């Protein structure tokens, strides 16, 4: 069986890691919906458009894994 490696930008992976580390530091649960909620919070807080695009890409990747 041939498995394709998903094309996920490093920035999106870093955004997920950052969101997870923030949740852990805050003592909050680390579930898919918690990660996406934190990523959405970060999107709302940033004015950096490339970062915003990476965060939103990370949300789409996670949402795709939830389906």
pLDDT of residue 1: 45
The domain limits of the chain are: 30-67
23 CB-contact burial (10 Å; exposed 0-12 / middle 13-18 / buried 19+):
middle
pLDDT of residue 67: 66
Query: Whose structure tokens read 């852990």?
Result: 24
Query: What is this structure's pTM?
Result: 0.75
**Is a pLDDT exceeding 80 seen at residue 7?**
no
Q: What is the pLDDT of residues 10-66, one digit of tens each?
A: 887 888 898 899 899 999 889 888 889 989 998 999 899 988 988 898 888 888 877
At residue 5 the predicted structure's pLDDT band, cuts being 50, 70 and 90, is low
């Amino acid at each position: 069986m041939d498995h394709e490696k998903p094309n996920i930008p490093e920035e999106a992976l870093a955004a997920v890691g950052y969101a997870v580390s923030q949740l852990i530091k805050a003592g909050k649960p680390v579930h898919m919906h918690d990660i996406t909620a934190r990523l959405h919070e970060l999107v709302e807080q940033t004015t950096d458009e490339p970062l915003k695009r990476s965060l939103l890409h990370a949300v789409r990747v996670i949402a795709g894994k939830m389906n």
